[in-house]
Amino acid sequence: MKLLDFIDQKTIITELRSTDKKNVLEELSLPVSEITQIEHRELVRVLIERENLGSTGIGNGIGIPHGKLKSLKTLILGIGLSRKGVDFDAMDGKPAYLFFLLLTPDNSTDLHLKLLARISKILKNDAFKEKILGAAKPEDVLQLIADIDEDF
């Protein structure tokens, strides 16, 4: 299984407009709502509930907002790039520029954890991070992920 197995090009936003955490969550979840037919408000609620437990801003310019939903049939990933940076309550206090949104069905804890670990691993590659932050189109993001994607 690869990350690309869970990414739809429509869930990649290369120019996030949002300037705060709540709006980033709303913007990232909008295309996911359209694809999954799950109410946008419900997706945002789940993500905010998770953020209330502790920020998913992991530092080094990265946010990995995630959550689980009973109504979701399959796992879905979204990606967002912010050119200006967003205060995402990161551990290092710095703005986040790169976001990986992860939503999984309620009963898929193992897969959820594996994907979080895989995303964290590839984001430790500074050359990859630099390239993806420079991506202009969703197709570019998909290609960069394809180049680094491995089975997990």
Catalytic center residues? 66
Strands 7-13 and 76-86 come out as: parallel
> Apex CA 41: angle with CA 91 and CA 86, to 5°?
30
Q: Is 20 exposed, middle or buried (0-12, 13-18, 19+ CB in 10 A)?
A: exposed
User: What Cα–Cα distance (Å) separates residue 86 from each residue in 23, 115, 136?
Assistant: 10, 23, 19
Total count of residues recorded for the chain: 152
- Beta-strand ranges (E) seen in the chain are 7-13, 57-59, 62-63, 66-69, 76-86, 96-105
